[in-house]
Amino acid sequence: MNIAFIGLGNMGAPMASHLSKQHKITAYNRSPSKTQAWLAQHPEHKTANNAQDACKNTHVLILCVGNDQDVEQLIFGEQGAHLSLTKGSLIIDHSTTSSELAKRMHSKLKPLGIDYVDAPVSGGEQGAINGQLTIMCGGDLQPCEQAKTLTQCYAKSFTHMGEVGTGQLTKMVNQICVAGLIQALAEGINFGQKAGLDMDKVMNTLGNGAASSWQMLNRSTTMIKQQFDFGFAVDHMQKDLNICLNTAKTMHINLPTTKVVSEYYSELQRQGHGKLDTSSLILRLNKKT
171 catalytic? Reply is: yes
Chain centre to alpha carbon of residue 280:
18
Which amino acid makes up residue 21? K
Q: With b meaning 16 or more CB within 10 Å and e meaning fewer, what string describes 34-71?
A: bbeebbeebeebebbebbbbbbeebbbbbbbbbbbebb
H/E stretch holding 116 reads strand 115-118
Residues 111, 90: Cα–Cα separation, whole Å: 13
* Residues in Cβ contact with 124 at an 8 Å cutoff, skipping those fewer than 6 apart: 11, 231, 232
Contact 54, 6 (CB under 8 A): yes
User: Residue 116: which of 157, 155, 68, 165 has the closest Cα?
Assistant: 165
Q: Sign of the C-alpha dihedral, residues 119, 91, 88, 3? A: negative
Chain centre to alpha carbon of residue 69:
15
Catalytic residue among 34, 108, 156, 171: 171
Q: Sign of the C-alpha dihedral, residues 261, 252, 248, 184? A: positive
* Residues in Cβ contact with 131 at an 8 Å cutoff, skipping those fewer than 6 apart: 18, 153, 154, 155, 156
Query: Counting every residue, how long is the chain?
Result: 289
H/E stretch holding 101 reads helix 99-109
Residue 152 three-state SS: coil
Annotated catalytic residues are 171
